[in-house]
Amino acid sequence: MTNIKDVARLAGVSISTVSYAFSGKRPISSETKNRIVQAAEDLHYHPNSNAQVLRGARTRIIALSAPIHSYTSTAGYSIFFFEMLKAARRKAYDILLLAGEDEEIERVADSRLIDGVILLDVEENDSRVAQAYSLPLPVASIGIPLDSQPVYSVDLNFTLAGYMTIDRAVLHGYQRILFLGARPGAYDAQSNFLMYYRSSVLDNARKKGITILFRPVKYPRSEIIETILDDILTNDTIDAIILNGDAETAPLLVSSLLRRHLRVPEDVAVLSVGSYGNLDSGLVKLDEIPLEPRDACKYAMQAITDFIEGDTSHIGRVHYLTPQYLDRGSF
């Protein structure tokens, strides 16, 4: 098996010189470095990115920054992870998952192990977006930050989704709607898609004279949903329920309604927004305005690879995906 001694022998240098060349701990002349790189490639030494980094070539690795928070939906994240991986493989790239905060992006960027960064779970004022101004590589954001100048941003148009929701409510005459949101921490962190959708729903409902009863849903979800419904149904009346949190909340809500002998949509209408288009099975088929992880990941990866190829026109662009309404008769 080829080792560092073989590389040193072929390049005509000492083992320590090869080590310094790969680690970057001591300066090595360009001529010597090129000989070492060529020897490593000829001998197929370390089939990783070391020689490519030395030469300044592409590593064909994209970092996916996806910090894990207390309110993170692991089911939702996993869908985006797989869609991003598929988008990367179609472009012959690999994905490096970063689950920490800003310093992780700086560390891998400084190491020159990546060609670009894609951000998930973007907040309205996200420090990772601000960091993009000083990074020496392209950054794409799945989520629309308030300052989008240093990045390419793509996401579902949640403002339009809010309009669609209220227009539908007006069409069916709903006057009092329970809005079950995500966990409180997500709103405290100003998770962008939640903020955009809630703001749009509340603004448009007010203009149409519709009352919205907003309740975030914290853990344990089943118990919280029971408590919220007990309170609302005892002290108030509602025509409909909007879900805009974890996709796992939908079956819990349906089960809770059926236990109360409430029919969907005859007694109460239900719409899920921000789920994944898969609520067409189970006890009740639900209307959805789903996320579009496949398209979002595809466009983010395209923007990054275009930049790597020299096309910088995507940077600063905001790309809104048009929401699709899946009508299954529940709202």
Q: What is the pLDDT of residue 162?
A: 98
- Which residues is 61 bridged to in the sheet? 94
pLDDT of the residue at 47: 39
End-to-end CA distance of the chain: 65
β-bridge partners, 116: 62
Burial classification of residue 191, based on how many CB atoms lie within 10 Å of its CB (0-12 exposed, 13-18 middle, 19 or more buried): buried
Domain definitions of the chain by residue range: 4-51, 61-156+293-321, 158-290
pLDDT value for 56: 57
Residue 271, beta-bridge partner list:
242, 287
- Per CATH, the number for 4-51 is 1.10.260.40
* Separation of alpha carbons 164 and 3, rounded Å: 62
The amino acid occupying position 254 is V
Under CATH, which number does the domain 158-290 receive?
3.40.50.2300
One fold for 4-51 and 61-156+293-321: no
The pLDDT of residue 305 is 95
Say if CB 38 and CB 53 are below 8 A apart.
no
Q: What tokens appear for 21 in the block? A: 């060349």
CB 295 within 8 A of CB 131: no
Token pair recorded at residue 30: 């360009």
Q: What are the Cα distances from residue 320, in Å, to 97, 152, 183, 258?
A: 25, 11, 25, 37
Q: Is 266 exposed, middle or buried (0-12, 13-18, 19+ CB in 10 A)?
A: exposed
Handedness of CA 81, 87, 89, 92 (dihedral sign): negative
Q: What is the pLDDT of residue 55?
A: 52
Q: Is residue 318 within 8 Å of residue 147, measured between CB atoms?
A: no
CATH code of domain 61-156+293-321: 3.40.50.2300
Average pLDDT along the chain, 331 residues, taken 10 residues at a time: 82 82 68 84 65 64 88 78 96 92 82 92 91 91 94 98 98 98 92 95 98 93 93 93 89 95 97 94 94 97 94 94 98 98
